[in-house]
């Protein structure tokens, strides 16, 4: 009985946390593409090693790593959010473009 109660209490918490991270991740999509698969000049986040992700975000936050825009985004996130975003992007599949190289690009 007690076990059931724990499940009922834990369930909405997990879904809420998951939804929160998805909303945060969606705000990164404007520059980093859907699920972190950037199509522009910004780094691809999909499949990024989680420790690398966390270290970069902390470096943007503290100013150790110079950035054009990321210090703004990193400062708005707390440690738990950065950890969960690292987990989220680490499991996204990295999509590589299958289009041929444009002529004259070599
Ligand atoms: C306005 C565009 C923009 C948005 C929105 C944005 N980023 Fe970035 N991101 C960049 C750019 C540009 C860089 C390269 C560093 C720089 O110049 O700021 C970068 C770099 C990064 C890096 C470093 C990757 C590496 O391998 O070095 C991480 C991690 C990152 N962003 C995560 C995020 C996350 C998480 C979000 C959403 C909360 C986000 N970004 C939102 C533009 C953006």
Q: What SS3 state is found at 53? A: helix
Check whether 1 has a pLDDT greater than 60.
no
Q: Which residues line ligand 1 (CB under 6 A)?
A: 24, 27-28, 30-32, 42-43, 45, 48, 53, 56-57, 67-70, 73, 85
Residue 27 CB burial class (10 angstroms; 0-12, 13-18, ≥19): exposed
**Residue ID of nearest Cα to ligand 1 atom 1:** 31
Residue-range domains of the chain with CATH = 18-90 (1.10.760.10)
Q: What pLDDT, on a 0 to 100 scale, did the predictor assign at position 62?
A: 97
- Residues 32-48: pLDDT tens digits? 999 999 988 899 999 99
Q: What SS3 state is found at 85? A: helix
State how far the alpha carbon of 4 is from the alpha carbons of 7, 8, 18, 36, in Å.
Answer: 5, 6, 21, 37
Q: What SS3 state is found at 9? A: helix
Check whether 54 has a pLDDT greater than 70.
yes
When pLDDT is cut at 50, 70 and 90, the band that residue 17 belongs to is: confident
């Amino acid at each position: 009985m007690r076990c059931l109660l724990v499940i009922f209490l834990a369930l909405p918490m997990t879904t809420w946390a998951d939804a929160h991270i998805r909303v945060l991740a969606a705000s990164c999509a404007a520059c980093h593409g859907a699920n972190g698969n950037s199509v522009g000049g910004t780094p691809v986040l999909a499949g990024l090693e989680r420790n690398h992700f966390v270290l970069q975000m902390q470096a943007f936050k503290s100013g150790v790593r110079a950035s054009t825009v990321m210090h703004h985004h990193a400062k708005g996130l707390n440690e738990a959010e950065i950890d969960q975003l690292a987990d989220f992007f680490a499991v996204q599949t990295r999509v590589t473009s299958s289009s041929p190289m444009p002529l004259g690009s070599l």
